[in-house]
């Protein structure tokens, strides 16, 4: 059986009209059997605020009302079918109960359960929209198959167990009907609800596609594929018809918000092609991400990732000694910190950390406990309000003249860090966040607008 997994983001399932556009896409392709949805636009942000333990009761009730208003507006357009109304009432009631408990006895597990309720609401509603259109469709609780560890806020999927459960519980149902399930959430071995981190719905779709050995994953969002850069920064940015897994992984990692950074990993492991397109304008096509592509230009895109932190570590222990970096990375690993870029000198190490989407509730990475532990071995200095700009392409590390073209553009700007050579697919610079927009626009003009090797 040919199988496509389609994922729809928050803006794509924002209201009844948007859900019907998504239904057109799903019903237009008989191979689409599994649909993964995010929470309706705005709901997750409201839930994040609702999960704060220091909230007053008046604000809590106001947030609950705002969330209910979004969901009941869709239910009303459906004509309030009794089964869907009962399911939605139960989810919203659970939301109210958990948020009240959280004020008394906050816990990470409870926060994850609250955050999961947005996806549970939208999956119930979208399945009802599909049934209204004549499809045999049901909502499926992804927690039955999406097994994770117990690291609440940013749980790690257990790939082998996910595959076993998906084959056992999900595959047989897909042969009989359309299933709508939730992105972003899972459950640990004890059945407790977990979340995969902000933006994890794309990742969920790719993980499920991998487990089911699907033919393709479709990521439907509010933009028409992947562009050479953010069109808001460079008006002449162009959509890219096709890119490789390696290029897409670099773009997702370094800030192309169209795709969650982890999405590419399951697709690469199973060599599943990924499509990115707009649910508002599916007729305009989008971007295909494939294992092999016909065209591999030197310059493919410019990506930017804001809200970066630079961690500077100074220690004389590094001088003609061994083990300092090993200990530093061990400390970071204990605190679940992933390092992006690194540069070293004899007595200094500089590391960049991506603060975006560190966990589902948006908590920061640099805790007091982490800084204190690092300070035992070195002097620590933290710099923030930085942005990482990445030039993405092919054979960048082995093509002469790349640095000249890039650095002549950067001449008016202060560059805090440069990383190049570790990957043939990127050259990265760290600049002030205030200058990032100008840097991206200037690089795009120089590398893509009228250039022979543009994508």
Instruction: Cite the beta strand spans of 172-330 per DSSP E.
Output: 178-182, 185-187, 193-195, 216-221, 242-244, 273-278, 286-290, 299-314
222 known member of a binding site: yes
Neighbours of 331 (CB within 10 A): 14
Token couple for 367? 């805790």
Residue closest to 91 by CA, chosen among 75, 104, 77:
75
Q: Is the dihedral of CA 264, 266, 270, 274 positive or negative?
A: negative
257 known member of a binding site: yes
11 known member of a binding site: no
CB-based contact 284:336 (threshold 8 Å): no
Instruction: Cite the beta strand spans of 110-222 per DSSP E.
Output: 137-139, 178-182, 185-187, 193-195, 216-221
221 known member of a binding site: yes
Calpha distance 200→261 (Å, rounded): 9
CB-based contact 7:219 (threshold 8 Å): yes
CB-based contact 355:418 (threshold 8 Å): no
16 known member of a binding site: no
Phi and psi torsions of 439, nearest 5°: -65, -45
10 known member of a binding site: yes
Residue closest to 184 by CA, chosen among 220, 208, 165:
208
384 known member of a binding site: no
284 known member of a binding site: no
Partner residues linked to 387 by β-bridges: 431
**Pairing between β-strand 273-278 and β-strand 216-221 as defined by DSSP bridges:** parallel
Q: Which ranges in 28-107 belong to alpha helices (H)? A: 43-50, 57-77, 82-104
Neighbours of 72 (CB within 10 A): 16
DSSP 158: -
CB-based contact 396:406 (threshold 8 Å): no
8 known member of a binding site: yes
> Can you tell me whether residue 197 is helix, strand or coil?
coil
- For every residue of 223-247, DSSP letters joined together read SSS-BSS-TTT-TT--B-SEEEHHH
Binding-site residue numbers for ATP are 7-10, 221-222, 227, 232, 257-258
Binding-site residue numbers for substrate are 44, 119
Binding-site residue numbers are 7-10, 44, 119, 221-222, 227, 232, 257-258
């Amino acid at each position: 059986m040919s199988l496509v997994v389609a994922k729809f983001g928050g803006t794509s399932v924002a209201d009844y009209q948007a859900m019907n556009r998504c239904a057109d896409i799903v019903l237009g392709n008989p191979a689409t059997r599994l649909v993964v949805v995010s929470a309706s636009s705005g709901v997750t942000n409201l839930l994040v605020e609702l999960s704060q333990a220091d909230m007053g009761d008046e604000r809590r009730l106001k947030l609950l009302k705002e969330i209910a208003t979004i969901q009941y507006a869709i239910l009303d357009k459906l004509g309030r079918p009794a089964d869907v109304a009962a399911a939605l009432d139960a989810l919203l009631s659970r939301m109210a109960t958990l948020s009240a408990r959280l004020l008394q006895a906050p816990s990470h597990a409870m926060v994850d359960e609250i955050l999961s309720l947005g996806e549970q609401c939208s999956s119930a509603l979208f399945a009802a929209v599909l049934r209204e259109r004549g499809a045999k469709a049901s909502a499926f609780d992804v927690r039955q198959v999406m097994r994770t560890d117990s690291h609440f806020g940013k749980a790690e999927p257990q790939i082998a167990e996910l595959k076993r459960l998906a084959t056992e519980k999900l595959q047989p149902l897909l042969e009989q009907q359309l299933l709508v399930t939730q992105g972003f959430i899972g459950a640990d071995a004890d059945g407790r609800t977990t979340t995969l981190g902000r933006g994890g719905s794309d990742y969920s779709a790719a993980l499920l596609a991998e487990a089911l050995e699907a033919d393709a994953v479709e990521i439907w969002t509010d933009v028409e594929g992947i562009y050479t850069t953010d069109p808001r920064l460079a008006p002449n940015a162009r959509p890219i018809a096709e890119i490789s897994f390696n290029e897409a992984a670099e773009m997702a990692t370094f800030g192309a918000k169209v795709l969650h950074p982890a999405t590419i990993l399951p697709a690469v492991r199973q060599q599943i092609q990924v499509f990115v397109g707009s649910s508002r304008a599916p007729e305009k096509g989008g971007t295909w991400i494939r294992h092999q592509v016909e065209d591999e230009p030197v310059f493919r895109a410019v990506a930017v990732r804001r809200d970066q932190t630079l961690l500077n570590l100074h220690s004389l222990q590094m001088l003609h000694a061994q083990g300092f970096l090993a200990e530093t990375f061990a400390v970071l690993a204990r605190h679940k910190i992933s390092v992006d870029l690194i540069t070293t000198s004899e007595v200094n190490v500089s590391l960049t950390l991506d603060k975006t989407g560190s966990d589902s509730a948006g908590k920061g990475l640099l805790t007091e406990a982490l800084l204190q532990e690092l300070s035992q071995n070195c002097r620590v200095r933290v710099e923030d309000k930085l942005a990482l700009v990445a030039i993405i392409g092919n054979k960048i590390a082995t093509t002469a003249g790349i640095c000249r073209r890039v650095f002549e553009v950067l001449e008016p700007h202060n560059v805090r860090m440069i990383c190049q050579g570790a990957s043939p697919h990127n050259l990265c610079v760290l600049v002030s966040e205030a200058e990032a927009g100008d840097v991206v626009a200037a690089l795009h003009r120089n590398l893509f607008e009228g250039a022979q090797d543009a994508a």
